[in-house]
Structure 1
Amino acid sequence: MCLAALFSVFAGCTAKNDETETEGKAAISFVDDDGYQINLGAPAKKIISMYSAHTENLYALGAGEQVIGGHTTCIFPAEAAPKATYDYQGDPEYVIAAEPDLVLIRPRISRAAPEFVESLRNAGITVVSLYPNTLDAFPDYINKLAALAGKEEKAEELLKVFDAGLNEISDLTSKAEDKQTVFFESTEVNIRTVAEGSMPDMAIKFAGGKNIAQGALPMTEGSSIAEFGAERVLENGEGIDVYVSQRGAMNAGGNLQSISERPGFDTVSAVKNGRVYVINEKLISSPTFRYVKGVNELARFMYPEIMDDVSAYISDEPATKRDFANLITRCLHIPVYVPSSSKYYLENRDTHTYGMFEDIHWYDHDFDYIETAVYSGYVSWRKGEDGKEYFDPDSGVTREGLAKTVFIAGDFSAKEANTAISDLGKCGNKRIVQILVDNGVFELDENGSFLPDKQVTHNEIIQALRFVK
């Protein structure tokens, strides 16, 4: 037996289709997606992930502390970004020097950098290649990933939540009487779409939509990309209710401006009606638990009256900032914000940094809507004396705070005649308050006072946001 093969046996990874005595006796045993028999005596404690989806899923499984590094594109959750970064196009010695007991890759990496992968195996490092080509393969992929990290019970729990989330969205959109037809642009080059059965195609179905490119075939075996073209888009233009463009490092569709400026695209119903949306590929094409959020976004694009319904918030109870962020994102139908650049956390900024709130974690139920409302500039945040960022989700919302948000989000003009406001001098944003009172957005009390510091209710927020056009 050659030295490389011997190392492979000790590391738990044997050559393709090589039956060994350890198979069946190992605590963890399966064939990976490159055809290698994997045998591990125990879960890995030092993992390097060369694919962002693996990293994200490991954190979701509760194995984040076992991840000692990842590829340069691993930026979600935010706590994964500062860890050591590696590039499979670089020197494998950097990975070898970190002494991981497991390196996770996917078949694309094996094809793109075979010498890099072979160097790791020759150094005695266990390399496991995983990637689910279809949504049906997602549970098996997660279960293998969980086994490698010793998180099988958590995987079972999360997969149940995953399925329940998809079913809940489907149940909600099934109530829509007018089923929406969607064109999904996967790449701006040649206006390509997605293949039937791909994750984005399935997402359209889960979201209650009809794919105008139904039956599109993959460009190559295993690809999610399919040919379509501008000519066919225009041929079907009147029947396209919603136009969705996928944006990201791997596949980049057009942006809102470029799509609307294409010759003839002004005849497409979705373009004419302002129903062109951009979605981050990480939410819709990447095999992670956030796929449910991507499906939810598609459903929001198609059926905002159902998915952004705020009837559960109707109340005269005082609203918190958490409530405020939810109501803003829903009432204004703002697509959720997700950073797309792998260099996002390397950039210096004076504004809030995505995912860095000390009091709102990435697994918080309202994380996306809070981050979106803050990123849009509609909800305030603060930097503490410790230099860390805080959202203060349970604090209240004042009338003046609501006024500032409504003014920024809306389009209001000053009136020639001004309503007398007895306590205008107590307002920090006098001009904003005056304009909104004059436009009928806010009423004064019996003493003609605005009461800038008074906490607002859910109903007051909903009512004020109705003035935003």
Structure 2
Amino acid sequence: MLFRRTTAALAVAALALTGCATRQQINAPAPPPAADFPVEVSVPGGSTGLKLEKRPERIISLNPSSTEVLYAVGAGKQVVAVDDQSTFPAEAPKTTLSGFKPNLEAIANHKPDLVVASNDLDNLVAGLAQLKIQVLLVPPAKTLEDAFTQAEVVGKATGHAADGTALAKRMRTDIDKIVSDTRKPARPLTYFHELDNSLYSVSSKTFIGNIYSRFGLTNITDEADKSGSGYPQISAEHLVKSNPDLIFLADTKCCGQSAQTVGARPGWQSVNAVKNGGVIALDDDIASRWGPRVVDLVRTVSSAVSAAAAK
């Protein structure tokens, strides 16, 4: 559980559709000519003015969200290794490389010409610079707009600028339509997003919280985030008293949680979400990443809100 909280914090703040849309994203067009290079890219909060003289042909991804974006923009054939947390798509060359404890020697053994990472942990950028390996830092997205921007930047940096722009546009358009088409409840709904069964959660200031805010949902953990970390831990008493209308479980894989296990927790039987079928099981991976499958998460939230509004 500690690992999950650390993963979430690094991946989202300090924290991909198994249907047709995802397949369309992965099966992107062939790469453009090398004449598009050199290019210079910058990412808000990450790499600034990174100049790539030629299209990278041996890319390593050290975070799952970037792995998904790389494949979604059509750069999958250029990826030679991904970190141990990258589980999608299935064809990604998963290794024992770690994005949390980067091993410079192990990274260099893959002979990359570009490494994509979300954090400059253990002086990763400077260490790889000494080995003449460039690093594109794409930090954890804080908003949906951050995720769209990163899709564009990754596309440009890998020689797939048009595909990156198209992916960002598609994500934005799909999400806006899903939110717009969602049935509106008669009153504002409250929610709890569970990171693990020790009741760590996310506040509205996180990337995940930003998604829920698009639907006008009120987060019951915001007042408990005294430190401002974005990842408060609440008590069972606080949850029962707050009586959320919806409970989203992002710990179905790691911790085996479900509507049944939640309903069996002492005192939780009286919570509206439990009584009214408002406990929603999420895919842990999709619920912790800011890549193209965030559209799946938005669609799941939409379904939950619409179902609650119909009652």
- The answer to whether TM tops 0.5 is yes
RMSD of the alignment, in Å?
A: 3.0
Is 1:211 equivalent to 2:218 in the alignment?
yes
Residue pair 1:234, 1:264 contacting (<8 A) in 2 also:
yes
One-letter code aligned to 2:266: P
1:164 CA displacement: 1.4
Amino acid aligned to 1:94: A
- Give the whole-Å Cα distance in 2 for the aligned partners of 1:306 and 1:67: 44
What's 2:16 paired with?
Answer: none
Q: Aligned partners of 1:290 and 1:183: how far apart in 2? A: 21
Q: Percent identity?
A: 24
Specify the alignment match of 1:234 in structure 2: 240
- The structure-2 alpha-carbon separation of the partners of 1:220 and 1:155, relative to structure 1 and needing over 3 Å to count, comes to farther
- Describe the SS at the equivalent of 2:112: coil
- Report how far residue 176 of structure 1 moved: 4.6
Deviation (angstroms), 1:289: 1.3
Residue 148 and residue 212 in structure 1: after superposition, are their counterparts in 2 closer, same or farther (change >3 A)? closer
1:130 pairs with 2:141: no
The residue aligned with 2:66 is 54
Instruction: Find the aligned partners of 1:28 and 1:62 in 2 and give their Cα distance.
Output: 19
Tell me which of 193, 206, 224 is aligned to 1:184.
193
Q: What is residue 225 of structure 1 aligned with on the other side?
A: 231
TM-score, length basis structure 1:
0.52
Match of 2:149?
140
Instruction: Answer with 121-130 or 212-221: which moved more.
Output: 212-221
**1:162 matched residue in structure 2:** 171
Out of 247, 256, 261, the residue aligned to residue 243 of structure 1 is: 247
Structure 2 regions of 5+ residues with no counterpart?
Answer: 1-36
- Inter-partner Cα distance in structure 1 for 2:226 and 2:52: 37
Q: What is the correspondence of 1:59-458 to structure 2 with a 5 Å cutoff?
A: 59-80=71-92, 82=93, 84-88=95-99, 89=101, 91-107=103-119, 110-111=120-121, 113-114=122-123, 118-131=126-139, 132-177=141-186, 180-189=189-198, 191-206=199-214, 208-213=215-220, 215-216=222-223, 223-237=229-243, 240-247=244-251, 254-304=257-307
- Which is worse superposed, 97-106 or 131-140? 131-140
Whole-angstrom CA distance in 2 between matches of 1:225 and 1:253:
21
1:276 corresponds to which letter in structure 2? V
Higher RCO by CA contacts (8 Å cutoff, separation 6 or greater): 2
SS at match of 2:91: helix
CA distance in 2, matches of 1:253, 1:198: 24
Kept after mapping to 2: 8 A contact 1:28/1:38: yes
Q: 2:57 aligns with which of 25, 32, 45?
A: 45
Kindly state the Cα deviation for residue 53 of structure 1 after the two structures are TM-superposed. Answer: 0.6
**Aligned-pair distance for 1:84?**
4.8
Contact 2:182 2:303 in 1 (8 A): no
Q: Note closer, same or farther for the CA distance 1:267–1:75 as it changes in structure 2 (3 Å cut).
A: same
Task: Tell me the residue number matched to 1:452.
Answer: none
**Superimposed CA distance per residue, residues 335-374 of structure 1 (whole angstroms, 9 cap, x where no aligned partner):** xxxxxxxxxxxxxxxxxxxxxxxxxxxxxxxxxxxxxxxx
Q: Indicate conservation of the 8 Å contact 1:216/1:227, yes or no.
A: no
Report the alpha carbon displacement of residue 162 of structure 1 after superposing the two structures with TM. 1.0
- What SS does the corresponding residue of 1:183 show, helix, strand or coil? strand
Cα drift, residue 228 of structure 1: 3.3
Query: Is the Cα–Cα contact under 8 Å of residues 33 and 106 in structure 1 kept in the other structure?
Result: no
Q: State the alpha-carbon separation in 2 of the partners of residues 56 and 69 from structure 1.
A: 13
Instruction: Please give the alpha-carbon distance, in whole angstroms, between the structure 1 residues aligned to 2:146 and 2:95.
Output: 30
Q: Between Structure 1 and Structure 2, how many residues are aligned?
A: 272
Asked if structure 2 preserves the Cα contact closer than 8 Å seen for 1:43 and 1:147, the reply is no
- TM-score norm. by structure 2 comes to 0.75
Between structure 1 and structure 2, the one with the greater Rg is: 1
Determine the C-alpha separation between the residues in 1 that align with 2:86 and 2:41.
Answer: 27
1:79 aligned counterpart, secondary structure: coil
Note the C-alpha offset of 1:213: 2.0
- The one-letter amino acid of 1:282's match is D
Gaps of at least 5 residues in structure 1 are 1-24, 308-469
**CA deviations over 1:296-344 (Å, ceiling 9, x no partner):** 111222324999xxxxxxxxxxxxxxxxxxxxxxxxxxxxxxxxxxxxx
**Residue type of the alignment partner of 1:273:** N
Q: Distance in 2 between matches of 1:103 and 1:175?
A: 43
Tell me if the contact between 1:30 and 1:39 (Cα under 8 Å) persists in the aligned partners: no
Amino acid at match of 1:293: D
Deviation at 1:187, TM superposition (A): 3.2
SS of 2:237's equivalent in the other structure is: helix
CA contact (8 A) 1:71 1:86 kept: yes
Q: Deviations over 1:174-214 (max 9, x none)?
A: 4554654322223332x2321113222222233x3522427
Query: Relative to 1, partners in 2 of residues 1:255 and 1:287: Cα closer, same or farther, differing over 3 Å?
Result: same
